[in-house]
Every structure is written in structure tokens, then in C-alpha cells.
Amino acid sequence: MIRTRFAPSPTGYLHVGGGRTALFNWLFARKHKGTFILRVEDTDAARNTEEARQAIFDGMNWLGLDWDEGPDKGGPHGPYYQSQRNDIYDNYFEKLLAADRLYNDGGAYRFRFERKPITMQDLVCGEVTIDYRDESNTPDMVVKRSDGSYVFHFVNVVDDLEMRMTHVIRGEDHLMNTPKHLQLIAALGAQPPQYAHIPLILNPDGSKMSKRDAGAAVGDYPKQGFLSESVVNFIALLGWSSKSDDEIFTLIELVDRFSLEAINRAPARFDFEKCKWVNQQHIAKISTETFADLAKPFVEAEKLPITENYAAVISAVKEKVRLLTEVPAAIDFFITDDAAQDAETVAKAKANPNSALLTTLAEHMAELTEWSADIAKEAITTVAQANSAKPGQLMFPVRVALSGRAHGPDLGDVFEILGKERTIARLRIF
């Protein structure tokens, strides 16, 4: 039975690197019908915050990564906050003491490493050997501070043992820590889990992605108008490949295709443009109803009313936006008569000789007894031909007159949604 975990410390927001680590652990567990555990490593009392703890839960929930054991959920190996597991750590500490592997150093306790080469079999990196005879590079590590608290390496190992982890999938920044953990586990007389160290995520310029960098916080993605499945899809592709030409996957499809063997060893740079493209692909895949629901908060945030024709309006722009944040600006001209216009585009359209025909077009439309996308388009053809112009040449001025911009939905949709009166009114104003 596979058991994996995500063990963040609540000292900041949830980082995309952490999000991807959580994702890979989750995917591996789900793929093999195993158990996924969330454990909060809050041993650094000085740096832990309640906001950070909440950000982890919010981020995990948003990404759709549910846990089988952990906070709010419980489980047979709890509690799942390290700050509440001190008795357990004391027990293990006694074992190390009894095995004569600890010594006091300035009030703190250090673990005495065995001075020999340590070889590990990493599921991603393969066989890696670190020579512990070189003490300058591997000084005996502190497991208990002089203030009595335990350090990361110790509690992390104890918990992975206690919680019966079978696989530890974590960032490559932990690769050099693994022999330390292996030594600790051996000293405790236990069997280690299998390790898989995944490459780090870098900034577009190749530098290490850390706090403050664009795209670093998982919590920023929903605000920027990304769908959670897009983000999951995109970060899965950073350091992992399905080995096929397909790239757009739902969470379920990822579970189906995921494997540790397909994880790369080289770090990957974050490409914001591609992330947006992935989002666009997911928007295209979801239903109009779902899209309307997801876009609604962004529309309301811009103080735009949800009108009766909201469904039609949203449907007209669904395949034109890459981010949900683009929706308000894409639909506002449908909803209000004083939506912001692109001055440059308007000037360009007014300079267009064909815009002189717009008045004629408005008059012609005013005489129509019925109204539909096709009838309105036909009116354009009629007016154009009567004035020896091509219908297509009228499209641009008409678009600008009706929407105030150069880009937008199909003109037929615009005619239909705006209706006869507003269409004519805007043509005349222009």
C-alpha cells in the first residue's frame, strides 16, 4: 500500500514549487490507490503564522488536492501538526541516546554520523553516493536545540517512520539531506522509505524562484484568473512529461498518466506565456455554464451588473479570453453604454473612409421590421453594395462603433446581443 505525504511548514504562502511537490505526491498516491497525508511541520514557533497555515489549506483545496489523513481529517497516525507530537519525538530521542549516537554540544544534542560512504537509490536521480568520511562537508548534525526543541531532520524522519511513509517525493534541495536521514533511520533500526527528488522550478531567467518572484505564490493564481486545473496541468509539465504529444490534461487524466519514471532531472524554468495558453485551452474545454459561474466574481468585482443576457454575453467571449480577469473588459460594452473605448482604435476607424457609410447603415437598419444576426449582416451587405464598397470593409468601422475596440466577439453575436435600438444608436453616435 502506497503512502505519500506533503509536509509544508507554515512560514509563508504556498509556493508553486511546494504545490508541485504536493501534486506529484498526490498523483502518485491516487494513481496507485494509496494514501495521501498532509502533515504540518510547524516546529519553528518563531516563524509560523496562522495566515501561512491557512494559505496551505486554501492552496491545496484550490488545486483540488485532498488528503486522506491530516488536519481536520484526522487519521491513525496523528496528530498531524508537529508542534503536537513532542512526546513521540522524546521517545525516539531516548532511543538515539540509548544507542549512544548522541552527544552534548553547547546544550544542544548532535547526532554522530557513521564515517563511511552512504549510497542511496533515488527514484529520479538514480544511485547517488555521498562520502561521510569528509567531515568538513558533513558535520555531525544537531537534532535537539539547546532550548529543547527538535530540528527538522529529526522530526521529519521520525514522522515519516511513524506515519509509515512508503515514498518520499520532495524537492531536489533535499537530495544532500537524504544520507543524513538514512543514517538516522539506520540508527533507529528502521527501514527507510523510497525517495524521489524532483528538480526545482526556476524563474524565466534561470534564477531560483523564491518569494516575491512573479508566479511564485499559488494563492495569486485564482486572483489572476487562472483555473485550478490549468495551473495543475502546467506545473505538472514542469519536470514531468506524459511522453506523448498531448499536453492538456484534467486532474483525472494526470492521475492516469503519471509516473515517477517520467520525471526529469534538470530544473525547469517557469514560462508565464505558456501557462496562460494552457489556461485558454482549459477555458475552451469547460462548459459555458461553468465558465459563466467562474467568470461571475470577476465581472462583479468590476462593478458590472449581471444582466439577463449574461449567458449570451459570456458565451460570445468564452473562446477569446486567456484569463478570467480579461472577461470584464471583454464584455463591458455589451452591458453599459459608457464602457471605456480604445482611443487609438476609434481614431483609426474614424479615419477609415468607409465609416462615412455608418450613418447610411443606421438609417437602413432603422427601417428593418425584424432583427437578427443574419438580417443585420445583410444590411451591411446591402449598404456596402449600394455604395460600391465590399461588405468586409465595413466590418472594422462597425465593430469599433459598437464596441469601441478592434478586437471582440463575432459581429453577429454583437448585433444580436446589443439589439436593434442600441446598435443603431451607437452607429449614429459614432
> Using CB under 7 A, which residues numbered 274 to 293 contact RNA?
274, 277, 280, 284
| Residue of the chain from 2, 11, 54, 64 that contacts RNA (CB under 7 A) | 11
Total of residues contacting RNA (CB under 7 A): 84
Binding mask 21-60 for RNA (x = CB under 7 A): --------------------x-xx--x-------------
Q: Judged by CB under 7 A, does residue 132 bind RNA?
A: no
Find the length of the chain.
430
Q: Judged by CB under 7 A, does residue 125 bind RNA?
A: yes
CB 16 within 8 A of CB 215: yes
Q: Judged by CB under 7 A, does residue 372 bind RNA?
A: no
Q: Judged by CB under 7 A, does residue 166 bind RNA?
A: no
Q: Judged by CB under 7 A, does residue 266 bind RNA?
A: yes
Q: How far apart are CA 195 and CA 71, in angstroms?
A: 24
| Residue of the chain from 102, 238, 304, 358 that contacts RNA (CB under 7 A) | 238
Beta carbon nearer to RNA, 306 or 412: 412
23-31, 73-81, 129-137, 250-258 -> range binding RNA (CB under 7 A): 129-137
| Residue of the chain from 380, 383, 424, 427 that contacts RNA (CB under 7 A) | 380
* DSSP code string of 66-89: --SBBTTTB-TT---BGGG-HHHH
> What is the chain's alpha carbon radius of gyration, rounded to the nearest angstrom?
30
CB 278 within 8 A of CB 248: yes
Binding mask 290-319 for RNA (x = CB under 7 A): -----------------------------x
CB 69 within 8 A of CB 76: yes
Beta carbon nearer to RNA, 3 or 318: 318
Q: How far is the CB of 65 from RNA (least distance, A)?
A: 18
Q: How far apart are CA 342 and CA 344, in angstroms?
A: 6
172-180, 305-313, 347-355, 421-429 -> range binding RNA (CB under 7 A): 172-180
Footprint of RNA on residues 86-105 (CB under 7 A)?
Answer: 105
Non-local (6+) Cβ contacts of 236 within 8 A are: 20, 23, 24, 27, 249, 254, 258
57-65, 167-175, 250-258, 288-296 -> range binding RNA (CB under 7 A): 167-175
Q: Judged by CB under 7 A, does residue 208 bind RNA?
A: yes
158-166, 184-192, 262-270, 347-355 -> range binding RNA (CB under 7 A): 262-270
Q: How far is the CB of 1 from RNA (least distance, A)?
A: 26
Burial 174-207 (b: 16+ CB within 10 A, else e): bbebbbbbbbbbebbebebbebbbbbbbbeeeee
Q: Judged by CB under 7 A, does residue 344 bind RNA?
A: no
Task: Tell me how far CA of residue 79 lies from CA of 163, 212, 291, in angstroms.
Answer: 10, 32, 39
Q: How far apart are CA 193 and CA 161, in angstroms?
A: 8
| Angle at 406 (CA atoms; ends 401, 411), nearest 5 degrees | 65
DSSP 8-state code for residue 262: G
Q: How far is the CB of 249 from RNA (least distance, A)?
A: 12
